[in-house]
Amino acid sequence: MSKFAVYLKKHRGAVSGIALVLLVAAIFWVVNSPAVVGAAASKRSLPIYSVERPDKTVAISFDAAWGNEDTQSLIDTLKKYSVNATFFVVGAWVDKYPDSVKALADAGNEVMNHSDDHAHFAKLSADEIKKNINACSDKIEAVTGVRPTLFRCPYGEYNDNVVDTVSSMNMKTIQWDVDSLDWKGISADEITQRVLKNVKSGSIILFHNAAENTPAALPGILEALQKDGYTIVPISKLLLEGDCTIDNTGRQCPAMSATSVELVPETPAASTTAAPGTTAAPDTGTTAIPSPGATAATTAAPSPVKTPCPTATPCPTKTPCPTKTPCPTKTPCPTKTVIAPVE
């Protein structure tokens, strides 16, 4: 048996401990590697929570799953301020209140899909999701004549399967970045403060159709937003079209168009053309926001004439090192005293 084998046998516990530490370190590095984390994040499917807008534009939305006592009041308030909103309705609500659904659409508001029965979509298969959404869309289209293009998950509950399945149906999954919390029964003042404190350009604000104090809060919120320079539109008009991305916060952003410019030395000018915008998404019947990145020519500035380098200044004469001082003579150690053992 070799000496190495004998060593391993004698120190098997220590070797096993070192191997375990190295394995844990390797796993930790892989899990936290930027490349691995980035790859995992890039595969995650997210709904749209808000939109990157250069202007002060926001959208107001209402979820309607129960009750219609306040629906006409909300319609009247929106009309008073010349605002149209997006109502996400459940198929069962359409069955129960078809006249309210028609009134919403006739007033210029969007009527979009909030599932057929307010199920937990994260627990459904792709086929079940499609069947549920189509059932609700069929009911909405039968009343309004317009098939929904947007979907909001019941309970705001989703996973990759939900978002990917909705996308495969040529629909967009919509969340929100400003929650009024009106469903908790908080006062109109609290609802107003929450909304105005958190709103920003591109925000999607969430209300509920049958919340107790939303009708009282809505006029003040609309007045304050308009006074602050915000334009309020339905969600489909807030969304960007064309080549877009969704960042890790759920914010829809225009994709960056890459322009490559190469400067050739001693050439007066060089010309390059930006990549043209990509094909826009299918028309949803709403006003589209122009896609950034249309074809444009960019002329490079001429290379400047090189300035000769200044004459180098000679290095100063080196100062010689001082003479080393010799080390002192070592003092010999004293003779050791031998102590006799005690008898």
Of the candidates 116, 208, 243, 247, the residue annotated as catalytic is 208
Of the candidates 11, 63, 76, 118, the residue annotated as catalytic is 63
Residue type at 214 in one-letter notation = T
**End-to-end distance of the chain based on CA atoms, in angstroms?**
52
63 flagged as catalytic: yes
3-state secondary structure of 88: strand
208 flagged as catalytic: yes
Mapping DSSP onto H, E and C, the string for 272-311 reads: EECCCCCCCCCCCCCCCCCCCCCCCEEECCCCCCCCCCCC
Q: What is the largest CA-CA distance in the chain?
A: 119
> Residue 280: which region, alpha, beta or left (left: phi > 0; alpha: psi -120 to 50)?
beta
Q: Which two tokens stand for residue 226?
A: 């308009």
Q: Judge whether 156 and 177 are in contact, CB under 8 Å.
A: no
If you search the block for the tokens 């102590």, which residue do you land on? 339
3-state secondary structure of 134: helix
Distance CA(270)–CA(28), nearest Å, equals: 49
Q: How many residues does the chain have?
A: 343
Distance CA(86)–CA(112), nearest Å, equals: 7
Q: Which stretches of 114-236 are assigned E, i.e. beta strand?
A: 150-151, 172-173, 178-179, 204-208, 231-233
List residues with catalytic annotation: 63, 208
